[in-house]
């Protein structure tokens, strides 16, 4: 089982990258997959064609709110995180034939993701072994990374935008991962669709991490995101999708040219 965590500053295209990674692994028949949306914007579900509300699936933050605020659940007796963990498995997991999805959702108490993160960490310890690959969409703030939602990661991907702050984000993520003891095998940087291709060498030099290349700008991807259409429905010759296939092959996934 592989765990791939994608992060990056807002607007770099990290969520669309995770959605296209999903398409890549499905085309490679590397199912089942588990998708984890840690971003409070909750865009990943839409990008893979899932309407959580219509499916009756709750975010972890919603489950915490229902249990400990609306229903007045006690914080004594059974550990709160264990109580929420059982609800995550029952009410917070979207399931389909080829991939499942969990979303953390928005903050249940202003400024704090602690209990939702703890519940997710517990649920993942139960769930992860059932999947070929776990794909995590992490927000720019890195608060979930700081609380070790997953303590062991196969590969980290940081998607760069056209700003020096994107380079600083990589360094910060690298430092946090090491300080809190997150084990990872590899750490890659990827240029978002707006990242200048000629800055690839500089990206490697300034971040100290391998630069895989950039995601191609693709009007089809842009139109799909604006219209709310799933990126999984993109044609296999879509420039954006093809570029992600190439990046994943450079990272050692799949068979070259088969994505």
pLDDT of residue 90: 87
pLDDT of residue 88: 82
How do the domains of the chain map onto residue ranges?
2-250
pLDDT of residue 77: 47
The pLDDT tens digits of the residues spanning 60-115 come to 888 878 776 655 544 444 455 566 777 888 898 999 999 999 998 875 555 455 66
pLDDT of residue 225: 94
pLDDT of residue 86: 77
Helix (H) or strand (E) holding 120: helix 114-127
pLDDT of residue 61: 82
pLDDT of residue 175: 85
- DSSP secondary structure, 23-78, as one string: HHHHHTT---EEEEE--TT--HHHHTT--HHHHTPPPHHHHHHIIIIIS---SSSS
pLDDT of residue 72: 52
Tens-digit pLDDT profile for the chain (259 aa)? 788 999 888 888 999 999 999 999 999 998 899 999 988 778 899 999 999 999 999 988 888 787 766 555 444 444 555 667 778 888 989 999 999 999 988 755 554 556 666 667 777 777 778 898 999 998 766 566 655 566 678 899 999 998 888 899 888 888 888 887 778 889 999 999 999 999 999 999 999 999 999 999 999 999 999 999 999 999 999 999 999 999 999 999 986 555 4
Collapsing DSSP to helix, strand or coil, 3 comes out as strand
Q: Would you call the peptide bond into 32 cis, given omega within 30 degrees of 0 as the criterion? A: yes
Round to whole Å and give the CA distance between 39 and 227: 20
pLDDT of residue 75: 46
CATH topology of domain 2-250: Rossmann fold (3.40.50)
Round to whole Å and give the CA distance between 45 and 172: 27
Q: Which of 214, 181, 177, 255 is closest to 17 using CA atoms?
A: 214
């Amino acid at each position: 089982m592989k765990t791939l965590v994608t992060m990056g500053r807002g607007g770099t295209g990290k969520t669309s990258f995770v959605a296209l990674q999903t398409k890549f692994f499905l085309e490679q028949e590397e199912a089942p997959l588990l998708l984890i949306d840690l971003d409070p914007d909750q865009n990943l579900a839409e990008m893979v064609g899932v309407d959580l509300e219509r499916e009756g699936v709750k975010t972890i933050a919603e489950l915490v709110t229902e249990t400990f605020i609306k229903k007045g659940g006690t914080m004594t007796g059974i550990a709160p995180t264990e109580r929420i963990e059982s609800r995550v498995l029952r009410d917070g997991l979207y399931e389909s034939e080829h991939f499942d999805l969990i979303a953390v959702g928005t903050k249940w108490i202003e400024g704090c993701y602690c209990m939702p993160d703890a519940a997710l960490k517990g649920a993942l310890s139960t769930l992860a072994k059932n999947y070929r690959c776990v794909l995590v969409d992490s927000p720019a703030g890195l608060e979930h990374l700081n609380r070790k939602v997953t303590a062991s990661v196969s590969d980290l991907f940081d998607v760069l935008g056209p700003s020096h702050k994107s380079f600083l984000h990589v360094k910060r993520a690298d430092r946090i991962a090491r300080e809190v003891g997150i084990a990872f095998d590899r750490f890659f940087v990827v240029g978002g669709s707006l990242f200048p291709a000629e800055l690839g060498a500089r990206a490697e030099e300034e971040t100290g991490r391998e630069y895989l290349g950039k995601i191609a700008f693709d009007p089809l991807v842009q139109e799909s995101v604006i219209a709310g259409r799933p990126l999984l429905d993109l044609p296999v010759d879509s420039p954006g999708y093809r570029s992600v296939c190439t990046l994943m092959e450079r990272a050692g996934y799949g068979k070259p040219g088969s994505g």
